[in-house]
Structure formats: C-alpha cells, structure tokens
Amino acid sequence: MHVLKDIAPARQSVTIFVNPTQFGPQEDLAAYPRPLQADLAACEKAGVDAVFAPDVETMYPGGVFTRVHVATLTDGLCGPHRPGHFDGVATVVAKLFQILPADAAFFGEKDYQQLRVVQQLVRDLNIPVEVVGCPTVREPDGLAMSSRNAYLVPAQRAQAACLYQALNRACTRAAGGVRRAAELIDGIRGDILAAGPAGIDYVEIVDAVTLEPLTAVNRAARICLAVRIGGCRLIDNVAVDMPAGPI
C-alpha cells in the first residue's frame, strides 16, 4: 500500500493493490494477505479521503505489454533473488502516478531498494511527484512490520527479532571504529545463524544512493539483508553514517 497526498489542498488518497507483476512464479501471490476491510478501516482512522483499490484487469487490461526497467539499482540486493520483481514495481508505480497524479508519494524505508528505484524512476521519466522515504515501522522487539510476518509461527516470530538486533550490533561496531564491510557482515551473519535455523539470501553494505557494495563504511551507507526463516522471506536495513577517514 502507498499513500498519495495532494499538498494543496491538503487531501490524502491511498492505493491498495497486490501487484501480480512483481511476484515470481514460485512466490506467494495466491497466499499474500489481502485484508481489505482492515485496510479500509485503518485508512478511515488515519483521515484518508479516498482509497483506490483496483482489480488486476483494471490495472492491466488485456495483459502486460509494456514494462518499465530501472537499470543498475536493480542489479544487486533483492534483484538477483527476485528476477523481474523491480520491473513489476516500476511498471505499476508509473501507471499509478498517471492514474492518480499527486504532489508527493510516501514509501517505507524497509523496502529501501524499492524506495531508491522509485526515486530514480520519477527523476529519469520527469514525473512531477516528490517521493518521500518514511522510517521503518517496527514491532516492540524491533522486527520490521510486514504483511509476511503473519507467516511466522510463534517460535519463528521470536527468532526473527534477531535481524534488527544484528543490524544494530553492526552499527554499534561501526561507530566504535570497525569500518571493514566484510568484518561487519561476518558479525551480522554469525548473529543471525546463532539465533536459529535461517537461510541468508544476502547481507550487504551498500552506498546509500547508488546501492553499490562497499568494502568499507566511510560514507553514508545502508546495511541491508534478506533472510528466510521457515517459509518466510524477511528483509530489513538500517542506515550507518560514518565520516571518511583511515580504515
């Protein structure tokens, strides 16, 4: 779900759409949570003026014949693990910006790669929308809120708190002088695997703008990860800002 807000006059509209073009053949499109009534209630409570909740045929009449591809930013992180995912994201966002023109659109930083892709999309295609990143909303134990958290059984849900804990430990170590990316990444991977069975798709430290992998934390960076606990794939990231200096 993303929010489109007209700054003047101050009105808010929300789009709710589970986009099939960003799911791979083996992914959870059929099972993905669709609590429309709960979403509508949350929107009403938040003071939203209108909700656009189209069906697939409305968004893709007759099928998908045009796709939008944002190069480079989609090459790493989740890109290789979810082929075509970001093309689906870029395509549906470009369509929604045409259907519901807005002054600003708000995207959560939990999907940091998606946020950067959308920011690049509007810049490259001269779409007059300000894309605003919103801080990740977390559960009391730090787990990033996500629809997919519902897939976790209680033991897995408790284990999943290790992701944010591991990221925070890495930030503390970086602030304490550990700059080498490989050393920080090894620590994160060790913390995650010590918490219980998990499949790690990636743990990477990347430039906060270009998403290029860094060998050292010597400028604004993001520590990003994707981890599978049980059948649930969880992503998270945190900012780590360090001044340039000796490594």
Closest CA to 172 of 247, 242, 89: 242
Which of the 8 DSSP states describes residue 138?
Answer: B
Q: How far apart are CA 92 and CA 241, in angstroms?
A: 32
For the segment 38-48, what is each residue's pLDDT rounded down to a tens digit?
999 999 999 99
Checking if the pLDDT of 1 tops 60, the result is no
Tokens 């794939």 label which residue?
233
Domains and CATH numbers, the chain: 2-134 (3.40.50.620), 147-240 (3.30.1300.10)
Q: How many CB atoms lie within 10 A of CB 163?
A: 26
Residue 12 near residue 73 (C-beta atoms within 8 A): no
Q: How far apart are CA 195 and CA 143, in angstroms?
A: 14
Closest CA to 68 of 5, 141, 124: 124
Tokens of 148: 């997919």
Which of the 8 DSSP states describes residue 137?
Answer: P
Checking if the pLDDT of 8 tops 50, the result is no
Count, residues in the chain: 247
pLDDT at residue 146 in the model: 95
Residue 113 near residue 86 (C-beta atoms within 8 A): yes
Residue 4 banded pLDDT, cuts 50, 70, 90: very low
Average pLDDT over the chain reads 92
Burial degree of 173 (CB within 10 A; 0-12, 13-18, 19+):
middle
Amino acid residing at 224? C
- R_g of the chain, CA atoms, integer Å: 19
Q: How far apart are CA 15 and CA 94, in angstroms?
A: 13
* pLDDT more than 90, % of the chain: 83
Residue 242 banded pLDDT, cuts 50, 70, 90: low
For the segment 147-174, what is each residue's pLDDT rounded down to a tens digit?
999 999 999 999 999 999 999 999 999 9
Q: How far apart are CA 160 and CA 164, in angstroms?
A: 8
Tokens of 127: 């779409």
Does the predicted model carry a pTM greater than 0.95? no
Tokens of 84: 């075509």
